[in-house]
Amino acid sequence: MEQSPLALLPELCLLGGAVVTLLAGSFLPRQRQWVARLVAVAALLVAGVSAALAFPRDAPLGGVTETVFGAFVLDTATGVTRLVVVAAVLLVIGLGVDELAGQARESETYTLLLLGGLGAIVLAATDDLLTLAVGFLLASIPVYALVGMVRSPGAAEAALKTYLLGALSGILLLLGATVLSGIAGGTAYADLATGLAAAPAAAVAVGALAVLAGLLFEAGGVPLHQWVPDATQGAGTAAAAFLTTVPKLGALVAAARLVDVLPGSLPWPLLVGLLAAATMTLGNLAALAQTDARRLLGWSTVSQVGYLLMPVAVVTSTSAATPALLVYLAGYAVTNLTAFAVLAAVPGARSLTDFRGLARQRPALAAALVISLLSLVGTPPTAVFLGKLTVFTAAWDGGLAWLVVVAAVNTVVSLFYYLRWLVEAFRPGEPAATAGWPHAAAVAGALGVLAVGLGAGLVTALVGDGTLG
């Protein structure tokens, strides 16, 4: 593989942008913190352009042609993750303008968003256990701070819970990485692929499950999901939108890369499939009882991780798994952020009943809510419908037909709590006052949801086909 440090230009832009944003915010008065916002947006735009220019057009998904320092893979999965992360952080900043403008920690928030996005990309691109640990810390620490930015008892409790679970997950991940590298004789995934083949199955299972536990915390999957609903409810809206979207992008691609190199001495498709079934089922059943819109979306995002684990389970069985994962991640990101943009646009609304009258008084915002929630269900022609279609197909091709049945039943269950929210939006009432920037972000996000769904051919052509490198 070739070595090309300049290929890390998107990551360098995010890192440099975070440093400049922090420094700019330190010297600017509070009423001029918008300059820090502009710096952050400029860094994201440059990172997005450089990621698009560096996108591997000629190589299929499995045709890896470049790596950096033998630990950072530049394949289609990395290219897609870069673009989706940059777009997601831009949308988070857009929906959070009214909430963050003029706050004492406005520039620090933008810095944390950039660093968290950088951590997600590192997670997705790594093929080395040591770099995976670095990516985990880089993606996790900004989340702890973002959750605790709001000075409220709920935010403090959520930040403490997130930190404690994150610390436990980090220890498990490092423990697993130590076990795997010890028995494989190296930390690179290439060493794992060869060194673990003849290793004792029990030792491989302990090490791999410990590393996967760390990634499940990052993604918000069972059994390390407990922080997600509390953090979503207690954090600010922009922070909640970020933590339920961006870390997942990196963690699930990282999980797919790890499962792809594990030996077949243990039934990894069955184990990951069981985790997927438990995650989507628990998330959907818990969401049924929620009356707080933020907490409902928190449990919704847990259930979505279950669907996203389906292609991870069959990543070694079918070449359709990785493209399906990337398509679903892109569709989920724009859909979930659109739903949070609607929340940000009605900052005074907390319970589902607070959205009564939205369809009559704010039809564009109500349309964005309808599109985002129907997309989360998986209704055509939306982004998550395309994602569910591809992951269901991949799981079926990979021999997990039972998991497809479980996912289909869960999709029907999810319809009830999403429709309950929509019914409230269409009932007569007087909704709370709306904010301008989040309103525009919600409409833009809704158009993105439809664009991904209607542009299925273009999206699937972008992710290509094949296996991870």
How does pLDDT run across 309-329, given as a tens digit for each residue? Answer: 999 999 999 999 999 999 999
pLDDT exceeds cutoff 50 at 147? yes
Q: Hey, what amino acid is at 7? A: A
**Which residue, among 363, 318, 311, 312, has the nearest Cα to 342 in the 3D structure?**
363
pLDDT of res. 58: 56
pLDDT band, residue 430 (cuts 50/70/90): confident
pLDDT exceeds cutoff 60 at 193? yes
Question: Tens of pLDDT along 268-316?
Answer: 999 999 999 999 999 999 999 999 999 999 999 999 999 999 999 999 9
Query: How big is the chain by its Cα radius of gyration, in Å?
Result: 21
Lookup result for tokens 């498990």: 172
Question: Tens of pLDDT along 363-411?
Answer: 999 999 999 999 999 999 999 999 999 999 999 999 999 999 999 999 9
∠ Cα 77 87 217 (to 5°): 60
Helix (H, G, I), strand (E, B) or coil at 126: strand
pLDDT of res. 62: 46
Question: Could you tell me which residues are beta bridge partners of residue 12?
Answer: none
Q: Can you give the pTM of this predicted structure?
A: 0.95
Residues near 230 by beta carbon (within 8 Å), at least 6 away in sequence:
154, 157, 158, 161, 162, 298
d(CA 194, CA 180): 12
Residues near 64 by beta carbon (within 8 Å), at least 6 away in sequence:
1, 73, 74, 75, 469
pLDDT band, residue 3 (cuts 50/70/90): low
Instruction: Spell 360-388 as b/e; 16+ CB within 10 A means b.
Output: eebeebbbbbbbbbbbbbbbeebbbbbbb
pLDDT band, residue 61 (cuts 50/70/90): very low
- Sequence-ordered alpha helix ranges (H) in 58-105: 76-95, 97-100
Q: Is the dihedral of CA 374, 380, 386, 389 positive or negative?
A: positive
CB atoms within 10 A of CB 120: 31
Q: For the chain, what's the residue count?
A: 469
267 alpha-carbon distance from chain centroid: 26
Question: For the chain, what is the mean pLDDT?
Answer: 92
pLDDT exceeds cutoff 60 at 467? no
pLDDT exceeds cutoff 90 at 126? yes
**Whether 299 contacts 229, CB under 8 Å:** yes
Q: Could you tell me the residue ranges of all domains in the chain?
A: 267-468
pLDDT of res. 435: 72
